[in-house]
Amino acid sequence: MQCFSAPVMWAQIDGNMHMRHSAYADFATQARIFELEKLGITSDDFLKEKLGPILFREETIYLKEVKLNDTITVKLVLTECRPDASRWTIRHELFRGDGVKCAQVIIDGAWLGTETRKLIIPPAQFATLFMQLPNE
């Protein structure tokens, strides 16, 4: 499933003239937000429900070089998820414009109550939508 595509911008390039390491995480994050919005979970919903995602682990595996003005396409899958959607793992695969897989970003996360600053179980409707992310 194609999730999100965008060009590599000058600000995402490092001194070696290829995409800087943290830009891979930025593409993965934007792809998650894009996909959640397609499912009906918006930034306003995060505010309304007083919750937000929190990451416990983020691993990036770099496979091929990416250069300025290339287009990155991110495909993501929910690889693990508790039945209440309280904890989850998402794998992102990043592809260059020529179709070559250039990186993989894997995250483990949960939901943080923005008022309590503690881990929470998301509301049922929120969890139901979240679990509609593409999965294995």
4-130 fold: Thiol Ester Dehydrase; Chain A (3.10.129)
Is the pLDDT assigned to residue 97 strictly greater than 60? yes
Is the pLDDT assigned to residue 2 strictly greater than 80? no
pLDDT tens across 104-114, in order? Answer: 999 999 999 99
Domains of the chain, by residue range, sit at 4-130
Closest to 60 measured CA to CA, from 16, 30, 96, 20: 20
The C-alpha atoms of residue 13 and residue 17 are separated, in whole angstroms, by 6
Is the pLDDT assigned to residue 103 strictly greater than 90? yes
- pLDDT above 70 as % of the chain: 99
Closest to 91 measured CA to CA, from 101, 77, 80, 102: 77
Quick one: pLDDT band at residue 92, thresholds 50, 70, 90? very high
Q: Running DSSP on this structure, what letter comes out for residue 132?
A: T
